[in-house]
Structure 1
Amino acid sequence: MTLDDDIHNYYEHLILERIQTLGLDKTKSSNYLADLCCLALNQVPPRYIRFEVDMSFYLPQNERQQMEMNVADAIDKAKKFLDQKSE
C-alpha cells in the first residue's frame, strides 16, 4: 500500500470542482491555481477517503451542501488574498 495512491482528501476533489465551475482553470496560471488550492485546503478540515464512490453513496445531502459551502468560502478567501498580493 502506498498512501499517496490509496488515500486522499475528498476536499481536494471539491476544490478542483469549484475552480472549474468558476472557470479559473482557464484564466489563471498553474502557479496561481496551486497556491489557491493550498490556501483553500488549509481552511477546510481534511476528509480522507479511499474511493470516491464512498462519498457519493454514503454522504448525506446536507453534509455535502455544507462541504460545498465551506469550499466556496475557502476559495473566495484564498482568491482575495492572492489577488491583493498581485496588486
Structure 2
Amino acid sequence: MKLDTDIHNYYEQLVLEKIESLEIEKKHDADYIADLTCLVLNQLRPRYIRFEVDMAFYLPASERQQMEMNVINAIDLSLNYLNDHYRK
C-alpha cells in the first residue's frame, strides 16, 4: 500500500473544486493558490478515504452540506488572512 496514492483527504477535492469555482486563479498566481489551499485545509478536520464512491454512498446529504459550508468558511477566513498579509 502506498499512502500517497491509496488514501487521501476527501476535503482536498472539495477545496480545489470550490477554489476553482471562485476563479481565484484568474486574480492570483500559483504561489498564492498553494498558500490558500494549505491554509484552508489546515482549518478542516481531515476525512480520509480510499475511493470517492465511499463518500458518495455513505455520506448523508446533511453532512455533505456541512462539509461544503466548512470549506466556504475556511476559504473566506484564509482569503482575508492572505489578502492582509500579501498587501504588507
Please give the range of the TM-score, normalised by the shorter of the 2 chains: over 0.9
Structure 1 unaligned segments of length 5 or more: list them.
none
* 1:6-25 correspondence runs (5 A): 6-25=6-25
Aligned length in residues: 87
* 1:5-84 correspondence runs (5 A): 5-84=5-84
Please give the alpha-carbon distance, in whole angstroms, between the structure 2 residues aligned to 1:61 and 1:70. 14
Please give the alpha-carbon distance, in whole angstroms, between the structure 2 residues aligned to 1:44 and 1:36. 13
Identical positions, percent: 60
Deviation for aligned residue 1:56: 1.4
Segment of structure 1 superposing worse, 58-67 or 21-30 = 21-30
Which 4+ residue blocks in structure 1 deviate beyond 4 angstroms? none
Deviation for aligned residue 1:26: 2.7
Deviation for aligned residue 1:81: 0.5
- CA deviation profile, 1:29-51 (whole Å, cap 9, x unmatched): 11001100110011010000000
Deviation for aligned residue 1:65: 0.2
Tell me which amino acid in the other structure corresponds to 2:75: I
- CA deviation profile, 1:43-76 (whole Å, cap 9, x unmatched): 0100000001111121100000000000000000
Please give the alpha-carbon distance, in whole angstroms, between the structure 2 residues aligned to 1:25 and 1:12. 17
Structure 2 unaligned segments of length 5 or more: list them.
none
Structure 2 length-normalised TM: 0.94
